[in-house]
Structure formats: C-alpha cells, structure tokens
Amino acid sequence: MSHQPDRISALLALDWGTTSPRAFLLAEDGSVLESRASGHNIQNLPQAGEAGFRQAFAAIAGSWLAGWPQLPVVAGGMVGSAQGWREAPYAECPADLDALAAQGVSVDTGLGRRMLIAPGLIHRPSDAAPDVLRGEEIQIAGALAQHAEWREHACMVLPGTHSKGAVGVSCCRF
C-alpha cells in the first residue's frame, strides 16, 4: 500500500511476532496509509540481541521515521516476550487499553524514538490453566474500536502462528 500524502500520519504500529514483523503507518482515524513486512522475526535478526532488533526496526520503519520524526511508535506481539526485544510482563484480565498502556515497556529504537511494547494479557481462572494473548489483544482492541456493538457477544478467531479464539471478549474491556 502506498502512502497517501494528503492524509496525516499519526502512528507507527508494529505487529512483531514469532514468524514476521509487520509495520503499519496509520492515519488519525486508524486507517492504514502504508504497510510493510519483513523476514526479521524475533528468531531471525540481522545479529543477536538488542542490536539485531534495532537493525530490523530500522530496515522496516526507518524511512517512515525520517519523514515523520515525531511519530509515536507502538508494538505488540512476541517482541514483548522473554525472547523478544524487551519483556513486557502480561497484564492481568480483565484489562482495558489504559491498563495495557500503563504496563507496556519502552525501548530505545536507536533512531531517536522510543517504542512502547504492549504487555499482552493473562487470564488465570481458578479451575483451569491460564490463557494468554500476546499481540492478539491489540487486534481485539482494534476490532472493538471499529465495532463497539461486538463487545458483549463477540466470538473472534485470531489466525496466526499460534491461532486463538476469544469468546465474549470477557477477558478484555475495550
């Protein structure tokens, strides 16, 4: 998707998972102005450690930040796992967007910007093993922002490397 110069870029968002990072340049209304993908997932970086994450980030988003140096940057997914750039411990369910933002962690991208990494969610029922979301909670929040009427009765299928489903989104209050 190519950039639309008549629209204002408001956010750089990354879905950085186990298999691939995807970057999105978003307009003020949340629509995607441009998107990019890369093969530099959390297990396939140009080099090990933080330097590898910085290089992978620069490759996928550096030109956007050069054009919009004040653009806020957020990321969700396995980039916030113990194997990611920086671990963002799970937020306890139920949680809302404010709780996710408050429990996110910040990293220096090496490009003069800090990036907020979302923490993911954990639901610890008393009678079963915990359920976790890392990245999918951001997808759910985006869907509910566009379709508020789904909040009480939604059943969402979230395909991916580790496909998941969310019923009634009772874990998340968005």
pLDDT tens per residue across span 61-73: 999 999 988 899 9
For the cut 60, the answer to whether the pLDDT of residue 17 exceeds it is: yes
For the cut 90, the answer to whether the pLDDT of residue 4 exceeds it is: no
pLDDT at 168: 61
Tokens matching residue 137? 């909670």
pLDDT at 144: 79
Domains and CATH numbers, the chain: 9-128 (3.30.420.300)
Instruction: Report which of 15, 36, 13 is spatially closest to residue 26, judged by C-alpha positions.
Output: 13
pLDDT at 171: 46
pLDDT higher at 140 or 108: 108
For the cut 80, the answer to whether the pLDDT of residue 5 exceeds it is: no
d(CA 136, CA 142): 10
Kindly state the average pLDDT of the residues 4-22.
82
pLDDT higher at 54 or 169: 54
Specify the pTM.
Answer: 0.85
d(CA 4, CA 156): 31
pLDDT tens per residue across span 78-137: 999 999 999 999 999 888 888 888 999 999 999 999 999 999 999 898 999 998 888 888
Instruction: Report which of 143, 136, 106 is spatially closest to residue 121, judged by C-alpha positions.
Output: 136
pLDDT higher at 96 or 12: 12
pLDDT higher at 29 or 11: 11
pLDDT tens per residue across span 19-50: 889 999 999 888 899 999 999 988 889 899 99
pLDDT at 1: 46
